[in-house]
A = this chain, B = another copy of it.
Amino acid sequence: MLDRNHRANHRERSLLSKTGFMRALSPSALARLLDSAHITALPARATIFREGEPAMAFYALLSGYVRLYRVSRDGRQADIRICGPGDIFAECLIYGGDIYRFNAQAAENVSLARFDMQDVRELAEQDPTVSKAIMATLSDHLLSTMDCVVNDRLHTAPQRVADYLLTRCPSDNGPASIRLPYQKSLLAGMLGLAPEALSRAFSSLRRTGVTVRGRVIQIGDVEALKEI
């Protein structure tokens, strides 16, 4: 357990300080924050926290992917957000309540940094760059969650998939190629689809020049995708 839970070393401090959340912090706030971080490695499928538990900490993801989701009374699950390397999550509870409002689970082997909320609240009190970073992150998450609501209500499965592909497409015309960083069932969940529906959406996009082989997706013509 000792090597699974330790203070941030040089490598981890460097990774963390490059994240969107920490990039704009003042040097002193950054140092104090990094000093307070606890690094943990977790295997795939491990639970990070559960809905209803007291929220003592929020997290930054160093590597791997994490699923935030809630379960209904009859056991069905709905993903709220998929976090990747550099993302922070549960930061909405720093000033938003003292209980986790959803479950967090490692989608694969992950390495993450844990920050005590109370410590960060005190840091924010003293250093406005910390407040600004929190506000920017909250705003960003709020806007993308709003996008998510709108997508769900306005777009069909093929449209959502096309949308997803376009947002992580390097070029904005001609052909392109994308490699999914995670398995398709995870992508399905983040688009609010059953895995079967994602599969069907991909096959319906074949007529628009999209080919799928494993995790690699070839787009014949980016412009054509935008028309969906």
Q: Hey, which bits of chain A sit against chain B, CB under 8 A?
A: 70, 72, 76, 78, 80-81, 92-97, 101-102, 124-125, 128, 131-132, 134-136, 138-143, 145-146, 148-150, 152-155, 192
**Cα–Cα distance between A131 and B134 once the two chains are bound (Å):** 10
**Cα–Cα distance between A145 and B145 once the two chains are bound (Å):** 7
The A interface, classified by DSSP as helix, strand, loop or mixed, is: helix
What's the number of copies of this chain in the assembled complex? Answer: 2
Q: Which residues of B contact A131 (CB under 8 A)?
A: 124, 128, 131-132, 135
Q: Which of chain B's residues has its CB closest to A128's CB?
A: B125
Q: Which residues of B contact A96 (CB under 8 A)?
A: 136, 139-140, 142-143
Q: Which residues of B contact A152 (CB under 8 A)?
A: 149, 152-153, 192
Q: Which residues of B contact A80 (CB under 8 A)?
A: 146, 149-150
A80-B146, A95-B139, A131-B132 known, 7 other contacts, Cβ within 8 Å = A70-B154, A72-B155, A78-B154, A131-B135, A138-B139, A141-B142, A152-B153
Pair B142/A92 contact, Cβ less than 8 Å: yes
| 25 A-B residue pairings within 8 Å (CB atoms) | A76-B154, A78-B149, A94-B139, A95-B132, A95-B135, A95-B139, A96-B136, A96-B140, A96-B143, A97-B139, A97-B143, A124-B128, A124-B132, A124-B135, A125-B128, A128-B128, A131-B131, A131-B132, A135-B135, A135-B138, A138-B139, A145-B149, A152-B152, A152-B192, A153-B192
**Cα–Cα distance between A92 and B152 once the two chains are bound (Å):** 21
**Cα–Cα distance between A102 and B128 once the two chains are bound (Å):** 29
